[in-house]
Amino acid sequence: MSRLSVGRWGQLLIGILCMAMIANLQYGWTLFVNPIEHKFHWSRASIQIAFTIFVLTETWLVPIEGYLVDRFGPRPVMLGGGLLVGLSWMMNSVADSLGVLYVAAALGGIGAGAVYGTCVGNALKWFPERRGLAAGLTAMGFGAGSSLSILPIAWLIKSAGYQSSFLYIGTAQGILLLVLGWFLRKPPYASDEPSGLGPPIPSPHAGPPAPQFTPRQMLMTPVFWVMYCMFVMMAAGGLIATAQLGPIATDFRIADVPVSFIGLTLPALPFALSLDRVLNGITRPFFGWVSDQIGRENTMFLAFGLEGFGIILLGQFGHDPVAFVMLTGLVFFAWGEIYSLFPATCGDTFGSRHAATNAGLLYTAKGMAAILVPLASVIAGTAGWGAVFRAAAILNFSAAVMALVILKPLRARIQNRRLDAAIVVAALD
C-alpha cells in the first residue's frame, strides 16, 4: 500500500491511531505511581516530578517539532517520535533511580510531543473547513486511546509487576508508531483551500479566511497570549486529576471498593480510569463539532463552567465510590475539549500554512500547567484535596468568563479588520 494512496480521511484515521499509541504515557501514569513508591520508597512528589518532566518536554518542544513538520512533512518526525516513545518505556522498566526515571520521562515527552504535534498539525492542514471536528477527532485518540488498555495495564501490573508492564506496552506502542507513521504525508496544498477538493465549506463561526500568520507574527498579537493564559488555567486542573487520580482514590480509601454501574462491576479506581478515558475522548470531537456550530468562545464558556462545577462536586462527594466514578467522568468530559477548541481557534485565527508550529506554540501552555502537578501533592499533604479542588475550580470559572469577556471581542476585532481589508481590495479591483 503506497503512502500516496491514503487520502485525507485516511490521514485523519492514522493520526487518531498514532495519538492512541502515546496516550498511556500520560493517562496510564497514575497506575504506576503507587507501585513505584512501594518498591523504592521514593516520595510521591519526587515520583511526580517525572510526570512534570514528561509534560514539559512533551509540550515545550512541540513548536520545534511542528516547525519540522511544516518544513519536512509529518513522516520523519513521526518515525523519530515512535523510536523515543518505545525507548522511554523500556528505560522505565529498568529504572532503579530517580535520575533514570527522569531521563526516561524526558525522552518519552520528546517522542510523545513529536507524535502529538504531527497529528494535530496535519489534521488542521487537511481539514481547514472542519477544524473543530478534525482536531477533536485527532485529540480523541489521545484522550480515549488509553481506555482500552487501562484494565490490561492494571492487570499486568498486579500479575507481572509494573516493570514488565512498562516493557511490554512500551515496545508494542513504539513498533505500531513506526508502522503507522510511514503512511503519513502533508496535504498537496499550502493555503486554506484543499487542492482538488473544491472550495472548503467554512464553519459559520470561523469568520473570514485567516491570513497566514508566521509564528513571530502570531506571538505579537494579544489574542495569542489571552488564549495561552486560558489554556494554562484549564490544563492545570485536568493534569492534576490525570496524574493524581490514583493517589486521590487511595487517600479517599475507595480505590479497591467494587462499584456497579452501567452493567459493570469493577474496583472504583480502574472503573473511573476506564470511564474517564472514554469520556475524555468523546468530548473532543463532540465539543469540536459544537464549536463549529455555535462558535469557539461560546463553547468554551459552557465546557469550562461545566468542569468547574464538576470539580466542586468531586471535592464534596468524591469519598463515595459511585460518586467518585461518575464525577471524575464529568470532570474529564468537560476538560478534554481544550485539546480541540484551542487548536481549532488557533487555526481559525492564524491560518493553516504554519498551523503545526503555531498550534505547537500554543500547546506549550500545557507544559506551564504541568508545573503545578507536584505542587498539588504538597498542598494536598498540608491542606487536603479540598483546597486543590477549590483552586482548580476557580481557574476553570475564570477561564470561562475570559472566553466571552476578553477572547471573543479580541477575535472579533481581527475578523473585522479582515473584512475591512477585503472590502478595500475588492474596491481596488
pLDDT for position 209: 55
Q: Is the pLDDT of residue 417 over 80?
A: no
Give the global pTM. 0.72
Give the orientation angle of helix 372-383 with respect to helix 355-370, to 10 degrees.
20
Residues 6+ away with beta carbon under 8 Å from 423 = none
pLDDT for position 247: 80
Is residue 178 very low, low, confident or very high in pLDDT (cuts 50, 70, 90)? very high
pLDDT for position 418: 58
Instruction: Kindly report which listed range (124-128, 238-242, 275-279) carries the lowest average pLDDT score.
Output: 238-242
Mean pLDDT for the stretch of residues 75-88: 93
Q: Does residue 33 contact residue 158 with C-beta atoms inside 8 Å? A: no
Determine the Cα–Cα distance for residues 233 and 394; give it in Å rounded to an integer: 9
Q: What are the tens digits of pLDDT across the range 138-158?
A: 888 876 666 677 778 888 888
Counting residues of the chain whose pLDDT is more than 90, the rounded percentage is 31
Residue keyed to cell 462545577: 309
Determine the Cα–Cα distance for residues 179 and 78; give it in Å rounded to an integer: 10
CA distances from 392 to 251, 310, 335 (A): 19, 10, 12
Q: Does residue 131 contact residue 124 with C-beta atoms inside 8 Å? A: yes
Determine the Cα–Cα distance for residues 55 and 47; give it in Å rounded to an integer: 14
Is residue 428 very low, low, confident or very high in pLDDT (cuts 50, 70, 90)? very low
Q: What are the tens digits of pLDDT across the range 243-256?
A: 677 788 888 888 88
Q: What is the DSSP string of 58-116?
A: HHHTHHHHHHHHHHH-HHHHHHHHHHHHHHHHHHHHH--SHHHHHHHHHHHHHHHHHHH
Helices (H), 127-258: 131-144, 147-160, 162-181, 215-219, 222-251
Is residue 101 very low, low, confident or very high in pLDDT (cuts 50, 70, 90)? very high
Q: What are the tens digits of pLDDT across the range 256-280?
A: 888 887 777 888 888 887 788 788 7
C-alpha 361: how far from its chain's center? 14
Domains along the chain? 3-190+214-428 (1.20.1250.20)
Determine the Cα–Cα distance for residues 273 and 167; give it in Å rounded to an integer: 21
